[in-house]
Chain A
Amino acid sequence: MRRNSVAVVGAAETTELGVIPNMSQIQLHADAALNAIADAGLKLSDIDGFATAVESPQQVCHYLGIKPTWVDGTSVGGCSFMLHVRHAAAAIEAGLCKTVLITHAESGKSMIGKLPRSIPADSLQGQFEAPFGVYGPPSMFPIPVLRFMKTWGITHEQIAMVAVVQREWAAKNPRAMMKDPITVADVLNSRMIAYPFRLLQCCLVTDGGGALILTSTDRAKDFPRKPVYILGTGESVETPMVSQMETFNSSRAFKVAGPLAFKEAGIAHKDVDHLMIYDAFAHLPLYGLGDLGFMPYEETGKFIADGNTRPGGKLPLNTNGGGLSYMHSGMYGMYALQESVRQMRGIAPAQVKDAKISVCHGVGGMFAASGTIIFTNEK
């Protein structure tokens, strides 16, 4: 894909975030979509490309009244929306459609109109993981952590600092669910969920949604908002079975997707002003910093513990408060993308001054999938 040939011209979250007991999941999609369409100054009839995950594209298109000529139902977990951005950019460039709407919504907390997630007993996960007591992401996602810690010399306190620093960012964000300051001791004394992880190292469970609108850069100047250009993209998948990852010392999907995006963008790590690394659990920013090549894995824990990613630090990371403190409806990737777009528009609640390049890195289905989008506000 050519750098900066496609731009985000509309971006919005649902009107409310957090606990939304008066809206079903499909209506959360519509709420986010209508907000994004208003943000872009468009009509629904202007949308000719559509992508979403979990819900089928036909479900949401019919509900919204959209007649697309291009659809993408890629559903690989919480980073599906990064993949949608990548696919949409390619589709726009190929002339398959002109204006793409990407929606995410999840009634993760209130569970209204939410499709059940189940593992069939004759799937490989059903045969070779479920019988051993895995039960939802908190029991699966942290399984690699102890090995990662041993291999790279990472401490419990350093991983606890991920949650502490993100709470500092959340305190600046009126829409964040959790804003009260916390300490390393608070994290390490919070309720045990799945050793080594405690409550404050696990993401929130909330309701919400978000939507993005993409079009070609040559059309982007006609829109009311400052365009946010797509500078580089990457994606990959590894395995839905956490036990079958090639190694627990890194994520193969991260190591494919991240460097692809950097290569396409033609940037170096020192060029990055703002970084989002999907933090469903507190270890993910450490994997991300290492797998995306920001630093050797051994240094990731110390880098965060030393305050380099906190407000005022040299690499602002997860500036909305992240999945740990901002919100996490189940598929957080859309909210990471929204924060990158806000930062590039210069309107984030905790705005990074003069930020010009934002890297947004997502994970999906435990470590099953990954997508990376690099944005810029300069052509």
Chain B
Amino acid sequence: MAEAARAKPKPTPETQHFWDGTKAGELRLQRCDACSNVYFPPRPFCPSCASRKVTAFKASGKGKLYSYVINHRPAAPGFTPPYAIAVVELDEGPRMMSNIVDCPQTPEALVLDMKLEVAFEKLDDKITLPMFRPAKG
């Protein structure tokens, strides 16, 4: 029996630019042209001031570990427990859920506020996920 696969995102017209970005090796956020608010997840207007004039830009890909769980059970399809589900606070301000790679999935190794950098993981020709790993240096 084939192993169940990880849940795969299906882009919408409003999020396609984000997934085009990860495929191209860029983490894209949006900034409001009117009030400079940087926000996530993607939408074609500013959730702070309602302006429709917003611009997608390439983020630094740097952030820090805001919080996490190490999931033991039940495990999501495509995951081998224990695995950490993390929330990363990006240097630009927004937070996003991700996984921490190249790092033991233990409370000792996963220290809050540790510096992280984006690492892209290709799922298929359409979808590349933004993962994070401990920042080098």
Contact = CB atoms under 8 A, between A and B. Distances in A.
B72 interface: yes
A156 to B, nearest CB: 10
A128 B7 contact: no
Interface string B48-88: 00000000000000000011111111111111001101110
Interface string A244-281: 10001000000000000000000000000000000000
Given A133-B6, A133-B71, A146 B112 contact: yes
A138 B66 CA distance: 18
User: Interface SS of chain A: helix, strand, loop or mixed?
Assistant: mixed
Interface string B96-133: 11110000000100001000000000010000010000
Nearest to A147: B67
Contacts of B76: 130, 133-135, 139
B36 interface: no
Given A146-B67, A243-B96, A133 B75 contact: yes
Contacts of B96: 128, 243
Chain B residues touching A, range: 35 or more
Nearest to B70: A195
Interface residues of A, number: 38
Interface in A191-205: 191-197
B17 interface: no
Contact of B11 (A127, A147, A248): A127
B99 A135 contact: no
B97 A128 contact: yes
B137 interface: no
A135 B83 CA distance: 12
A193 B73 contact: yes
Contact of B69 (A119, A122, A150, A195): A195
Interface string A106-146: 00000000000001111010111111111110111011111
B136 interface: no
B97 A132 contact: yes
Contacts of A133: 6, 71, 75-76, 78-79, 83, 85, 99
Given A130-B76, A242-B87, 8 more contacts: A124-B15, A127-B11, A127-B41, A130-B7, A133-B71, A146-B68, A146-B112, A195-B69
Interface of B: 6-12, 15, 19, 40-41, 66-79, 82-83, 85-87, 95-99, 107, 112, 123, 129
Interface of A: 119-122, 124, 126-136, 138-140, 142-147, 150, 191-197, 241-244, 248
